[in-house]
Structure 1
Amino acid sequence: MNHLKRTEAVILDWAGTTVDFGSFAPTQIFVEAFKTAFNFDISIAEARVPMGLGKWQHIEALGKLPTVSQRWQEQFGREMDSDDINSIYQTFMPLQIAKVVEFAEPIQGVQEVIGWLRNNDIKIGSCSGYPRAVMESLIPAASVQGYHPDYTVATDDLPVGGRPGPWMALQNVIGLGVHHVAHCIKVDDSVPGITEGLNAGMWTIGLSVSGNEFGVTYSNYLTMSDDEVSERRKPAEDKLRAAGAHYVIDTLAQLPKVVEEINRRLKLGERP
């Protein structure tokens, strides 16, 4: 049967992968949420460190960063606890729901790649560190601008949780009716997203330029010299490779050639 010989589905992350070049929507809101809830300052760089986790878990991880933890204890005389995380999360949610629609434009090349995938009968799944309430704003906003995957799982859709566990990726397998997990490709710009794909038994592709690790806007990226791009790409690529990514490319625009390479390997009987 044909599905035994080729890629059946590609499961895509959202921010930094298909929309929101540089993954700015969540990072800016984390900074705002900490400031609004507790008049506490975190940097954009700190906000980026746990990217890819569910947003409650992201806030929890931020509180455990040595720099943040030290400042928190200096300001409040204690460690951050679950009540603090809940307060920041409750502040974060309405801010993120309002903001995410401003970052719904597909990244350059995404629409062409989606068309290529559909022409090759490859199903298009997706999952995100965003909770469902945020996705309910993002999905229609992205759809209006031309991007709509076949299936989407949000980080709070499943009782077992989100990344780095395999569950959102595997729910896509079920929702899309995929026959073989080993014929799926997980594409993500974050380490937890790569780990998610590996834990699910999928091929994984990291994105080193469009996402959180590279961390610049598309307009800024266009003004960078080749040397500047290379200098910024290398640590992002190294981090994704160290996480176990089978391939690392700059942006989703380069996906078709990797799918063809994975198809060649599948025909030889190789598995992730």
Structure 2
Amino acid sequence: MAKLEAVILDWAGTTVDFGSFAPTTIFVEAFAQAFGFALSLEEARGPMGLGKWDHIRALGDTPAIAARWASQFGAPMSDADVDGIYRAFMPLQIAKVADHADLIPGTLETVAWLRERGIKIGSCSGYPREVMDVLIEAAAQRGFKPDHVVAAGEVAAGSRPGPWMALQNVIALGIGDVAGCVKVDDSAPGIHEGRRAGMWTVGLSLSGNESGLTLPQFLAADANHRARVRRRASVNLAAAGAHCIVDTIAELPEALLQIQARIARGERP
């Protein structure tokens, strides 16, 4: 029978950067800088969870954005255009990601809970390694140090929504059974990643991209407001197949205890 061996955590919107604002604001800035093209923050959030080049490509293929792009430039967005936006995105993101590296409340407490139980902590992100190197150092200064990190582009087979980054963590951590792993993410592609890897999955509804709340907005929200945002944010996570959905990483231990009980009953993901 499998036992709970590891959690694989996402980064922005899951452990750092409440509301996942670092990538979204930089996408808006990169589109404007590279091509003078106006992209809204809400539009930038659409494909969140994908690798960043793939994210830009997905934005360019979104019907409303594609129509505006063709109207402005007279042709669909090409892969060369995506390359140009990505080139603008990278230095901006490297320069500013540390500004959004504050830990989501509950991260250190949950990490301590996992350590006490001998549960390994892997992680992966849609950020490329150049960005992750900056973010890893900034998070370490705040006390968060996972056992392993996989960045987008480091696995030859590809990144989300495929299973490869999550499975690379399994290999690096020496996990005996993927059914003893839990993928934790605030985006639908990250939940798809975990399901395709054969893992349990936990979606985070209020700290990440699906809700888009800042930490002050989250803290100020009353129960009714949180319930409305939670319902809206949970739709994509549930559709992606999340086994459990909780508000933030602070509630992750509760979800893991539920998964442990299901494992004890002989269930598998």
Q: Which TM-score applies when normalising by structure 2? A: 0.99
2:42 maps to 45
* The one of 147, 150, 153 aligned to 2:147: 150
Q: 1 CA distance for matches of 2:70 and 2:190?
A: 31
SS at match of 1:129: strand
Partner amino acid for 2:239?
A
Q: 2 CA distance for matches of 1:100 and 1:271?
A: 37
* The one of 178, 182, 185 aligned to 1:181: 178
Partner amino acid for 1:203?
W
The runs of 5 or more residues in structure 2 that have no matched partner are: none
Deviations 1:35-57 (A, max 9, x none): 00000000000000000000000
Deviations 1:86-129 (A, max 9, x none): 00000000000111101111100110000000000000000000
Q: 1 CA distance for matches of 2:262 and 2:230?
A: 27
1:27 maps to 24
Q: 2 CA distance for matches of 1:222 and 1:125?
A: 28
1:248 maps to 245
1:222 maps to 219
CA contact (8 A) 1:5 1:263 kept: no
Q: 2 CA distance for matches of 1:33 and 1:156?
A: 20
Between the two proteins, the alignment pairs up a number of residues equal to 269
Q: 2 CA distance for matches of 1:22 and 1:41?
A: 21
Q: 2 CA distance for matches of 1:120 and 1:62?
A: 41
1:264 maps to 261
1:136 maps to 133
Kindly state the Cα deviation for residue 224 of structure 1 after the two structures are TM-superposed. 1.7
CA contact (8 A) 2:160 2:190 kept: yes
2:93 maps to 96
What percentage of aligned pairs have identical amino acids? 58
Query: Does residue 61 in structure 1 map to residue 58 in structure 2?
Result: yes
* The one of 190, 195, 205 aligned to 2:192: 195
Partner amino acid for 2:56?
I
Q: 2 CA distance for matches of 1:265 and 1:219?
A: 35
The 1:112–1:79 alpha-carbon spacing in structure 2 relative to 1, beyond 3 Å, is same
Kindly state the Cα deviation for residue 260 of structure 1 after the two structures are TM-superposed. 1.4
Kindly state the Cα deviation for residue 67 of structure 1 after the two structures are TM-superposed. 1.2
Partner amino acid for 1:255?
L
Kindly state the Cα deviation for residue 229 of structure 1 after the two structures are TM-superposed. 1.3
Q: Within 5 Å, give how 1:165-180 maps onto structure 2.
A: 165-180=162-177
Q: Which TM-score applies when normalising by structure 1? A: 0.97
Q: 2 CA distance for matches of 1:218 and 1:15?
A: 13
Q: 1 CA distance for matches of 2:220 and 2:267?
A: 41
Q: 2 CA distance for matches of 1:153 and 1:234?
A: 31
Q: 2 CA distance for matches of 1:6 and 1:244?
A: 21
SS at match of 1:15: coil
Kindly state the Cα deviation for residue 263 of structure 1 after the two structures are TM-superposed. 1.3
SS at match of 2:245: strand
Partner amino acid for 1:221?
F
Kindly state the Cα deviation for residue 5 of structure 1 after the two structures are TM-superposed. 5.0
Deviations 1:204-263 (A, max 9, x none): 000000000000110111122221111111111122111110000000111111111211
C-alpha RMSD over aligned residues = 0.8
Deviations 1:188-219 (A, max 9, x none): 00000000000000000000000000001101
Q: 1 CA distance for matches of 2:128 and 2:181?
A: 23
CA contact (8 A) 2:47 2:55 kept: yes
CA contact (8 A) 1:29 1:95 kept: yes
Deviations 1:14-49 (A, max 9, x none): 000000000000000000000000000000000000
The runs of 5 or more residues in structure 1 that have no matched partner are: none
